[in-house]
Amino acid sequence: MPRTPRPIPLAELAAHLGCALEGDAGLSIGGFASLGAARPDELVFVREARLSAELAASAARAVIAPPGLDVGSRAVLRSPTPAWDFTRLVQRFAPPPRPPAGIADGALVDATAEIDPSASIEPGARIGPRCRVGARTVVASGVVLAADVAVGADCRIHPGAVLREDTRVGDRVVLQPGVVLGSDGFGLVPDADGRPQAMAQRGRVVVEDDVEIGANTTVDRATLDETRIRRGAKIDNLVQIAHNCDVGEDAIIVAQTGLSGGTVVGRGAIVMAQAGTTGHLRIGAGAFVGARGGLHHDVPDGARVFGAPAMEERRWHRTIAALTRLPELVRRVRRLERLVPGAGPESGGDGEENDGHDGDAGAETASAGDSERD
């Protein structure tokens, strides 16, 4: 529950957002909170009517809500995007603490590095030769910038992040703890004896403006050229992005996803948790890949795919529905086999109670046919 440095009149918050205010404009806000945990002087938000009961039970006296939503006697800021406007207020009026500008005692900064005077380099950070750190950027304790790394303005690099040599990071980038940019890609080639050997990895990673990368995510350097994360992309924790990948503008990649080498993710695409790709394929602009999706082929622009192997959404739903009917289909096929002399399995069992593998092929055939009729 972030608190504000001073009480802020609700009218000031409305002016900052440029939204309509209904109710007591002089009501002072002392912080921001969730519905269930709010104090009377804290602002909350609701996005839809299904949360009305929780709002009614909340102690908050002020709320951000969509036009037309009943909020009782509370003061309300009317917004078509309550969650986003709530976030804007928290960012503006309850920012996270930041260390003082300058290079702290205990930071190891190479003499050839260029550090903007307004940047903050915390104790224990290591800045290598010829690195550049832009204005107001915070480099936390335990961060390592290897040689020739360039980081833009207003970035936040959290503890334990490692940026390998020649990595490029734009402005307003957030790297959560443990992010690794520029590690060697997993490219193997057989030697003269057929044994796997690591192929030389001499490319780099480029992260454009307004990107956020979650904790313990790794982005491998390209073999020779660039692995690129484009403007505004948002990448969750524990994601693996292999060498030569290209993640498009405003794309979203959720936790535990793995992109094999050369994968291209289009602008605005969403890849849900634990999805995986084979290498050198394209996920189209605006496409959606469901959780645990296994991609072995390109995904067209705007398509929605699910499953492993991934398939078009409607086909996937039909397939899952058919799977739930397999036991009954097995029994139906075996009953039919008993009615046709010589059609049953050579084992001679009655089959109805025996759900062993001998009926799987028949069930698969029946299921496929049934699915085609749906």
Known catalytic residues? 243
Strand ranges of the sheet holding 75-78, from the earlier edge strand across to the other edge: 3-9, 28-32, 42-45, 62-65, 75-78, 20-22
DSSP type of residue 299:
B
Amino acid at 306: F
Q: How far is Cα 372 from Cα 254, in angstroms, rounded to an integer? A: 34
Q: Does 309 sit behind a cis peptide bond, omega within 30 degrees of 0 on the bond before it? A: yes
Q: Helix crossing, 360-373 with 326-339: angle to 10°?
A: 110
Q: How far is Cα 190 from Cα 187, in angstroms, rounded to an integer? A: 10
Q: How far is Cα 69 from Cα 62, in angstroms, rounded to an integer? A: 13
Dig out the tokens for 82 from the structure.
Answer: 């309550």
Give every CB contact of residue 85 below 8 A, 6+ residues apart in sequence.
Answer: 17, 19, 45, 64, 77, 79
Dig out the tokens for 132 from the structure.
Answer: 């550049």
Dig out the tokens for 3 from the structure.
Answer: 């608190």
Helix (DSSP H) and strand (DSSP E) numbers for the chain: 6, 39
Local structure of 73: helix, strand or coil = coil
Distance of CA 254 to the CA centre of its chain: 3
Proportion of the chain in helix, strand, coil states, percent, rounded to 5: 20, 30, 55
Rg of the chain over Cα atoms, rounded to whole angstroms, equals 28
Q: Please, which residues bridge with residue 126 across strands?
A: 108, 144
